[in-house]
Structure 1
Amino acid sequence: MRRVLAILAAMPLILFAAACGSEESPATGAPAGGSAGVKVTGNVGAKPTVTFPSGSPATKSSYEVIQPGTGAVVKAGDKVIVNLTVYNWDGKGNAVQGSSYDTKAPETIPINEQLPQVLQEGFTKVKHGGRLLAVLANDSLAQQQQQQTTPAEPTKVFVIDVVGAQAPALKAATGKETGQSIKGVQVENPGGEKAPTLTTKTSEKPSDKLVVKTIIEGTGAKVQPTQTLTVHYTGKIWGTDKQFDSSWERGQPAEFPLAQVIQGWQQGLAGVPVGSRVVMSIPPALGYGDQAQQNIPAKSTLVFVVDVLAAY
């Protein structure tokens, strides 16, 4: 089974839809309806047992704090590490869709505006060590579905145990310089949190293969292909020194799922330790091929210097 967050990513209702609307209960401040009759038993830190009420699934999204936790408060903007179990509430088998307790691989969820409102609110009501129950129904897509023929998603039930929080992303690569380089390409490391300088003006012919060299070797965990990365980078075209993109110049690192970028990045960054600075020469076949992009001619060999600041 793929990691449980892959289930979420495939369902716009859960992570990428408009916020779920729900009226608050005057007594508790939680959305009216609470857990919609769903019962959760078992200790935090172990796979839960979930009992569903008879009848049709809930049509209104809601949450309930099962255990408040005793650690640090979860805040908007945090990236929380969780153990997550998800069910399809269809009123029949109510089958479990996956659990990080089975994969033994906790997930990381960013608490941001991409989460439905019911989850944004629910997370901020628990602390580290707590357990949250969330019911995600189709109420958040009601207006959209009036305009489209998109089939309704099954109601989902999540039991989320908050393990902790991911450390903030680095500001720049940190580690030991290796002395590695790509022939024809120069990278100057100014040190500290300053941007490296990339020079690609050369008469050398580029390789028709992906070339990746580690300039600074970080000491963090190795990047996995399924993770989302936070990086700083500069991109230039081989031979011309023409820059077409730089997160450094925008003043903000880029964040993206590694699986959604060009093949050269996917292949070149998988396995790189967090904290590293790498330089990559990416042939057209692993970049944009015969298709010209804004500021990038067709059949260009791309050169990137990339600082891997975080992965989750």
Structure 2
Amino acid sequence: MRRALAVLAAVPLILFAAACGSDDGASTSASSTPGASAFKVGGNVGAKPSLVFPAGSPATTSSYAVIQPGAGNGVKAGDRVIVNLTVYNWDGKDNAVQGSSYDTKRPETIAVDEQIPQVLQEGFTKVKNGGRLLAVLANDAAAPATPADSTKVFVFDVVGTQPPPLKAATGKETKESLKGVKVVNPGGEKAPTLTTKTDEKPSDKLVVKTLIEGTGPKVQPSQTLTVHYTGKIWGSDKQFDSSWERGEPAEFPLAQVIQGWQQGLAGVPVGSRVVMSIPPDLGYGDQEQQGIPAKSTLVFVVDVLAAY
């Protein structure tokens, strides 16, 4: 599950479209319209920038310019770069700012991979931590099926890079348990075994037990998590989902999942393994959900691998 940049709520997600255009780097496009190097960016890195637009029509070709290279660690392909960003709508008239993480006070994290336009894949690798990058994203950076839209201008201030997710829970076993539920921890990167076949009556409250206590920072409600998990139904041992079986962890904003996860994982240190019993009112309630019967108590074993 990819994270949409909250600050760009009013902007088409061109940033996450597969790029189909070429990257002109800091140069202007081959047409008469100016490119990224024609902008004047004011203000210091670490504060919301000011931007003077060039004369002429908005660019139709994407480009980037390194405003300040930075002096910290470099950004590599595959990194998750943490940035403060400000986005403008380049219409040649108002050129209005459409959002800034400096206003929301929440830096964003972007994976430098093939899911972002080529102009950004290259541009980010030309700056270091503490640097500033300006990128013009025109329609050539959108996927072929994406409707045409106005050109956007992004100013990215690089805060740092997100450490890669853990492979598995890495803390100390606590010996805690959840009555009626059995979890076997095989160790290493192997998936734990969850058994929920029981005659015990489930609690009508959320129950969270820490099986392995990690040593990382505590999960915040506003963060995006990377986790491995298995989910079963209390009493029947019926499994309805498992990221371990799919072979890759899941990633999602915590605020966008069921209440049981939101309440149960907030405050859990990264690196932990928890088992949660989630009553219907914090799960799917009276609604059947993808084969999960209505009014089911859900049980999850979860490894918290990263939070950002």
TM range (shorter): 0.7 to 0.9
Aligned with residue 242 of structure 1, among 215, 230, 238? 238
The change in CA–CA distance for 1:267 and 1:30 in structure 2 (over 3 A counts) is farther
Name the CA distance, whole Å, in 1 between partners of 2:168 and 2:130: 31
Tell me the amino acid that sits aligned with residue 222 of structure 1: K
Question: Is 1:13–1:138's contact at 8 Å kept on the other side of the alignment?
Answer: no
Question: Is 1:22–1:31's contact at 8 Å kept on the other side of the alignment?
Answer: no
Give the TM-score taking structure 2 as reference length: 0.84
Cα distance, 1:247 vs structure 2: 1.9
Question: Is 1:236–1:242's contact at 8 Å kept on the other side of the alignment?
Answer: yes
Aligned with residue 205 of structure 1, among 201, 204, 218? 201
Name the CA distance, whole Å, in 2 between partners of 1:154 and 1:23: 18
1:155-200 CA deviation, whole Å, 9 max, x = no partner? 3221112222111111111223334332211223333333222221
Tell me the amino acid that sits aligned with residue 223 of structure 1: V
Name the CA distance, whole Å, in 1 between partners of 2:136 and 2:299: 46
Name the CA distance, whole Å, in 2 between partners of 1:101 and 1:213: 37
The change in CA–CA distance for 1:17 and 1:218 in structure 2 (over 3 A counts) is same
Correspondence for 2:190: 194
The change in CA–CA distance for 1:60 and 1:177 in structure 2 (over 3 A counts) is same
Correspondence for 1:15: 15
Name the CA distance, whole Å, in 1 between partners of 2:28 and 2:193: 51
Correspondence for 1:136: 137
Cα distance, 1:220 vs structure 2: 1.9
Deviates more, 1:129-138 or 1:92-101: 92-101
Aligned with residue 287 of structure 1, among 283, 294, 297? 283
The change in CA–CA distance for 1:276 and 1:240 in structure 2 (over 3 A counts) is same
Correspondence for 1:75: 76
Tell me the amino acid that sits aligned with residue 24 of structure 2: E
Correspondence for 1:86: 87
Question: Is 1:31–1:63's contact at 8 Å kept on the other side of the alignment?
Answer: no
Matched position secondary structure for 1:144 = coil
Correspondence for 2:171: 175
Cα distance, 1:31 vs structure 2: 6.0
Matched position secondary structure for 1:118 = helix
Give the TM-score taking structure 1 as reference length: 0.83
Aligned with residue 260 of structure 1, among 244, 256, 260? 256
Q: Name the Cα RMSD after superposition.
A: 2.9
Tell me the amino acid that sits aligned with residue 255 of structure 1: E
Correspondence for 2:293: 297
Deviates more, 1:118-127 or 1:177-186: 177-186
Name the CA distance, whole Å, in 2 between partners of 1:48 and 1:91: 19
Is residue 223 of structure 2 the alignment partner of residue 227 of structure 1?
yes
Alignment of 1:49-64 (within 5 A): 49-64=50-65
The change in CA–CA distance for 1:17 and 1:251 in structure 2 (over 3 A counts) is closer
Question: Is 2:63–2:137's contact at 8 Å kept on the other side of the alignment?
Answer: yes
Deviates more, 1:198-207 or 1:28-37: 28-37
Name the CA distance, whole Å, in 1 between partners of 2:99 and 2:12: 17
Correspondence for 1:274: 270
Aligned with residue 303 of structure 2, among 290, 298, 307? 307
Question: Is 1:82–1:164's contact at 8 Å kept on the other side of the alignment?
Answer: yes
